[in-house]
Structure formats: structure tokens, C-alpha cells
């Protein structure tokens, strides 16, 4: 009886390990970088949806870091091109194909020039297509603008 119980336990352990391995593989497959939709607008300057602002995202120079906290710059202007000074600016993002957001909460830490805001605490946990949302409020005008951004694979992973 004890030998058959050990055999059943060994079979159960193998089945659970197989199921766990399969679940890990499926999870990894789901989290690999998939190509973005065709004709995705990758412009980093655009008018906000209600045309209250003209927003430009400026990523860090060089390759966008993965798994490292870094900073971006956001320029906000009025529709006529004047810098939007003393605005409330917020940036966040996520991967629409994966259903997850950023692992950090980026924050505007200061206005570094008229209408130019430093966003610190940006972190991408993987390469692929990200949607970056920039919310701006200046007086009674407010708007949220969505940008598409492709975080490339690191050079050593290609």
C-alpha cells in the first residue's frame, strides 16, 4: 500500500510540474514582444484630442532603457504655439496588447523651461508597443493625449 501511494504521489508531482511548466511557457509566450498593429502612428508631437494643447514627448537620448528607471521630457504648448507654463502634467502608460501598465508611477518633478516638464521615474519592463498617456490641465482646459511608442529590443538581445 505504501509503495502504491508513493507511486501516485510521484505521478501527481510529475503532472503538476508539467502543468506548471506549460503555464510558465504560455506566460512567457504571452509576454514576448509582438509586432505592433500596422500603420501605428508613432509621432511624438500631436495636438490633444480637444485641441487644447500641442504636446511633444522627448525620450532619453540613445536607446530607451529596459528595466531601468529613467527620465523623459514633455513639452506642452497652446494651439498657437505659446509654452503652457505652470500646467499640471501627468504621464503614465501601458502595453495594450499585454494588459499591464508601467511598473512605476512616473511623476513630473519640475518645469525645466517654460512649458517643458521633466518626467522622472519612467520604467519599461519589456520591449514592444507601449501607449503613453499625457494628461494636461491648465486653467479650465484639460485633455489626455495618447502616444504610441515602440521600446526596441536591447542590442544584445537581437
pLDDT digits (tens, 9 = 90+) for 99-126: 999 999 999 999 999 999 999 999 999 9
Cα–Cα distance, 129 to 138 (Å, whole number): 29
Q: Three cell numbers at 53? A: 494643447
CB-based contacts of 71, cutoff 8 Å, min separation 6: 60, 118, 119, 120, 121, 122
Contact 131, 148 (CB under 8 A): yes
Q: Tell me: domain 45-157, CATH 1.10.150.120, correct?
A: no
Domain residue spans in the chain?
A: 1-31, 45-157
pLDDT digits (tens, 9 = 90+) for 38-55: 889 999 999 999 999 999
pTM: 0.76
Amino acid at each position: 500500500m505504501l509503495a502504491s501511494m508513493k507511486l501516485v504521489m510521484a505521478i501527481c508531482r510529475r503532472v503538476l510540474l508539467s502543468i506548471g511548466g506549460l503555464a510558465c511557457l504560455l506566460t512567457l509566450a504571452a509576454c514576448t514582444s509582438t509586432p505592433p498593429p500596422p500603420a501605428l502612428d508613432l509621432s511624438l508631437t500631436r495636438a490633444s484630442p480637444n485641441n487644447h494643447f500641442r504636446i511633444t514627448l522627448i525620450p532619453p537620448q540613445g536607446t530607451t532603457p529596459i528595466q531601468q528607471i529613467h527620465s523623459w521630457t514633455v513639452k506642452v504648448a497652446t494651439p498657437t504655439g505659446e509654452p503652457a507654463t505652470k500646467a499640471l502634467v501627468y504621464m503614465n502608460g501601458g502595453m495594450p496588447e499585454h494588459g499591464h501598465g508601467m511598473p512605476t508611477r512616473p511623476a513630473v518633478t519640475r518645469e525645466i523651461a517654460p512649458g517643458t516638464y521633466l518626467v522622472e521615474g519612467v520604467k519599461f519592463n519589456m520591449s514592444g508597443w507601449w501607449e503613453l498617456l499625457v494628461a494636461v490641465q491648465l486653467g479650465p482646459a484639460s485633455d489626455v493625449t495618447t502616444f504610441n511608442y515602440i521600446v526596441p529590443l536591447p542590442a544584445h538581445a537581437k
